[in-house]
């Protein structure tokens, strides 16, 4: 039987509730503004986001500051000089025990009542005290001298040997971390096996550096010496990288010490590793690892300013933690997209930054995978790109945003009448989606409810049960959307609103009016056709000029191939300042607008009017000159002009488009103020 345990919820037991749709919505505006999916993902990575439950996913800026603050706290708390002082203090305790043993020996002789014995014992005690007084001042010298000492106190000797074993273990821990346990045995046989292991490891490393195959050597090495490596590395590179990181951390500790402290610790290390061949093998390994992994951080050093002294083991552990922090910081600062965070060790990150930060890193790392699994983006030639589904989703998001505003705003002079998109039944049904005409199919809806909930009364309906009848429109509208891409649009914060409106209009027409035509023209110094799949990545022109004449000419040619009601929807924030003169392929630019530019643009308006094309203009930040020009243009063309803002642009364009469709179906035109 399965068993379960429960505990009070503390906010750490669940991950973030973040789906692909929410992640895509987070980059929607960023992508539309800059037209670069990879840049949009990188900005998302930097700033973070909130999931559907309002839980905050921290971005790289927050996490990096948290990491750096944690490192500052560690450096400001601890004193690296304690490594030296800790060993010195433990040696002083041993020497105090030895002095006490000498005093006790002399006192016992004195208490015996034998004058001769007392004199000899006192003389011997004085010599032994002098030997202690004349010990070298450095730790290494003291250790070497005491290793050869004829001890008076058995207790002090045992304490010293215990200290030496502890120091060897801590030294091995600081150099080799996980290997320390296997190297703790100092018997002659174990020592020889350790030297054999180092020799074989160095031989493989040198073969690797020479470009020779080491796969078979590594397998034999692990068979013979695998007990030295409890982490069970699967490849030689993995094993060597772990050792390089550990030895680099030890070197960073030495680099961070004062010259005196460093000399003391290095001398102590040599005294403890008294076997010359073993020391040579370790030095050889260090040199080989430096050559194989030059970026492991051999030159790192830290400025400790705290008061808490650390022992060697504590210092080694702290240096490892600081090295891990450096690696995490480097990975986070160089991550070009959320997917690059997949290599982060989340358990390690949780130890350094806390479980909430680790969950944020995991959520950020999963963003790209979620978007790829949902079919919204894909990787092509090493670069992430939008799929066709992703392009459609951007339009749907923009359309949903605008329609949700309409529900709240209910703009007075643009009523939205839910009359449906046509009046001819096709005798087909579809699942109801928001924005569909509510031509409810009662039969299909009730059947869905019964299939979901079973028989019986009352029949309770859910929104998921609704099916509506499809209708088809008897009118076809051909539209070209002209979007101003001149430099003034982003400078005045109008670009995003215009692009989002274009995406929303494309989504509306392609989903609700599939027989309609929508073309898109972007214009700055020159005009160009923009395919729907290119629209998300379209950006503004870094040149001056608003060439309405060229854009209208291109729109007119595109509509010449289409039928039905023809219209141009123009979104702009500036008057015409460029045109292409007859017989030339180069644009002429002038600000303030030249008379010939105005005339060339109005001539193109006249041609559109002659071809039955209505021009409706939506002006953002309209100047007096632009208003005068557009008023003149609308009188010629009998189109309409709207003076709007970025916040209401989408409302005006979509509602006007829907109103035009409604009027066309009704057979009469209703003027809008």
DSSP string spanning 396-452? HHHHHHHHHHHHHH--TTS------S-SEEEEEEEE--TTS---B-HHHHHHHHHHH
Kindly give, in sequence order, each residue whose CB lies less than 8 Å from that of residue 515, ignoring residues fewer than 6 positions away.
Answer: 472, 473, 476
Per-residue pLDDT of 481-500, as tens digits, reads 899 888 888 888 888 888 88
**Residues 633, 21: Cα–Cα separation, whole Å:** 42
In this structure, is the dihedral angle defined by the CA atoms of residues 358, 359, 360 and 362, taken in order, positive or negative?
Answer: positive
Question: Where does residue 54 fall: left (phi above 0), alpha (psi -120 to 50 degrees), or beta otherwise?
Answer: left
As a whole number, mean pLDDT of residues 355-372 equals 82
Kindly give, in sequence order, each residue whose CB lies less than 8 Å from that of residue 257, ignoring residues fewer than 6 positions away.
Answer: 80, 81, 83, 84, 265
CB contact at 8 A, 343 and 330: no
Q: Which CATH class is domain 477-666?
A: alpha beta
Query: Over 70: is that where the pLDDT of 200 sits?
Result: yes
Per-residue pLDDT of 29-39, as tens digits, reads 777 777 777 77
Per-residue pLDDT of 612-643, as tens digits, reads 999 988 888 767 777 888 888 888 998 888 88
Lowest mean pLDDT among 7-21, 159-173, 272-286, 432-446: 7-21
Query: Over 70: is that where the pLDDT of 9 sits?
Result: no
Is residue 467 classed as helix, strand or coil in its secondary structure? strand
Question: % helix / strand / coil in the chain, to the nearest 5?
Answer: 60, 10, 30
As a whole number, mean pLDDT of residues 18-26 equals 73
Neighbours of 358 (CB within 10 A): 21
Model confidence, pTM: 0.58
Query: Over 50: is that where the pLDDT of 116 sits?
Result: yes
Looking at the chain, the domain(s) classified CATH 3.40.50.410 span: 477-666
pLDDT of 553 reads 95
Question: Where does residue 35 fall: left (phi above 0), alpha (psi -120 to 50 degrees), or beta otherwise?
Answer: left
pLDDT of 594 reads 92
Per-residue pLDDT of 45-80, as tens digits, reads 888 877 766 778 888 888 889 888 998 888 888 887
pLDDT of 549 reads 94
pLDDT of 411 reads 38
**Residues 176, 250: Cα–Cα separation, whole Å:** 9
Per-chain mean pLDDT for the chain:
79
Reported as type and span, the H/E element at residue 255 is: helix 236-256
Q: How confident is the model at residue 672 (pLDDT cuts 50, 70, 90)?
A: very low
Query: Over 50: is that where the pLDDT of 285 sits?
Result: yes
């Amino acid at each position: 039987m399965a068993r379960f345990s429960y505990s009070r919820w503390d906010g750490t037991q669940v991950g973030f509730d973040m789906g692909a749709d929410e992640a895509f919505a987070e980059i929607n505006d960023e992508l539309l503004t800059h037209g670069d999916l990879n840049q949009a993902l990188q900005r998302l990575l930097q700033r973070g986001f909130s999931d559907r439950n309002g839980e905050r996913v921290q971005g790289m800026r927050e996490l990096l500051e948290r990491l750096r603050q944690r490192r500052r706290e560690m450096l400001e708390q601890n004193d690296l000089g304690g490594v030296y002082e800790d060993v010195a203090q433990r040696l002083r305790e041993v020497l105090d025990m030895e002095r006490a043993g000498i005093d006790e020996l002399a006192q016992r002789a004195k208490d015996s009542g034998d004058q001769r014995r007392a004199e000899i014992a006192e003389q011997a005690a004085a010599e032994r005290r002098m030997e202690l007084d004349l010990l070298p001042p450095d730790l290494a010298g003291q250790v070497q001298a005491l290793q050869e000492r004829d001890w008076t106190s058995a207790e002090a000797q045992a304490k010293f040997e215990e200290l030496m074993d502890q120091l060897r273990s801590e030294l091995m821990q600081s150099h080799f971390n996980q290997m320390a346990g296997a190297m703790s045995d100092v018997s002659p046989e174990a020592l020889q096996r350790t030297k054999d292991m180092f020799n074989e490891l160095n031989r493989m490393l040198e073969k690797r550096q020479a470009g020779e195959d080491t796969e078979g050597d590594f397998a034999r090495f692990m068979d013979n010496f695998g007990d030295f490596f409890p982490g069970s590395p699967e490849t030689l590179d993995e094993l060597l990288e772990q050792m390089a990181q550990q030895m680099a951390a030890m070197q960073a500790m030495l680099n961070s010490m004062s010259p005196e402290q460093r000399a003391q610790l290095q001398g102590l290390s040599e005294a403890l590793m008294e076997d010359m061949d073993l020391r040579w093998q370790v030095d050889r390994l260090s040199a080989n690892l430096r050559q194989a992994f030059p970026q492991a951080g051999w030159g790192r050093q830290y400025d400790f300013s705290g008061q808490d002294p650390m022992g060697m083991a504590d210092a080694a552990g702290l240096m490892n933690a600081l090295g891990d922090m450096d690696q995490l910081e480097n990975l986070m600062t160089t991550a070009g997209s959320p997917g690059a965070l997949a290599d982060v060790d989340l358990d390690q990150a949780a130890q350094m930054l806390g479980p909430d930060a680790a969950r944020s890193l995991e959520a950020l790392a999963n963003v790209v995978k979620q978007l790829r699994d949902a079919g919204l983006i894909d990787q092509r030639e090493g670069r992430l790109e939008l799929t066709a589904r992703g392009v459609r989703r951007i339009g749907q998001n923009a359309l949903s945003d605008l329609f949700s505003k309409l529900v709240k705003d209910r703009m007075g002079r643009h009523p939205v009448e839910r009359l449906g998109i046509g009046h001819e039944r096709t005798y087909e049904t579809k699942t109801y989606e928001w924005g569909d005409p509510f031509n409810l199919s009662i039969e299909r809806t009730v059947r869905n409810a019964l299939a979901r909930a079973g028989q019986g009364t009352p029949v309770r309906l859910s929104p998921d049960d609704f099916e509506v009848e499809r209708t088809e429109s008897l009118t076809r509208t051909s539209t070209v959307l002209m979007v101003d891409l001149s430099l003034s649009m982003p400078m005045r914060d109008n670009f995003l609103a215009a692009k989002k409106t274009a995406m929303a209009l494309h989504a509306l027409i392609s989903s609700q009016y599939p027989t309609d035509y929508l073309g898109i023209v972007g214009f700055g110094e020159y005009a160009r056709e923009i395919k729907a799949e290119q629209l998300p990545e379209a950006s503004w022109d870094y040149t001056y000029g608003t060439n309405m004449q060229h854009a209208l000419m291109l729109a007119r040619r595109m509509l010449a191939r289409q039928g039905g009601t023809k219209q141009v929807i123009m979104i702009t924030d500036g008057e015409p300042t460029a045109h292409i003169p007859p017989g030339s392929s180069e644009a002429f630019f002038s600000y303030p607008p030249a008379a010939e530019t105005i005339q060339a643009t109005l001539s193109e308006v006249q041609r559109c009017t002659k071809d039955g094309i209505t021009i409706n203009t939506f002006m953002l930040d309209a100047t007096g000159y632009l208003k005068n020009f557009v008023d003149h243009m609308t009188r010629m063309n009998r189109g309409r002009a709207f003076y709007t803002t970025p916040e209401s642009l989408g409302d005006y364009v979509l509602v006007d488009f829907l109103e035009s469709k409604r009027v066309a179906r009704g057979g009469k035109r209703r003027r809008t103020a």
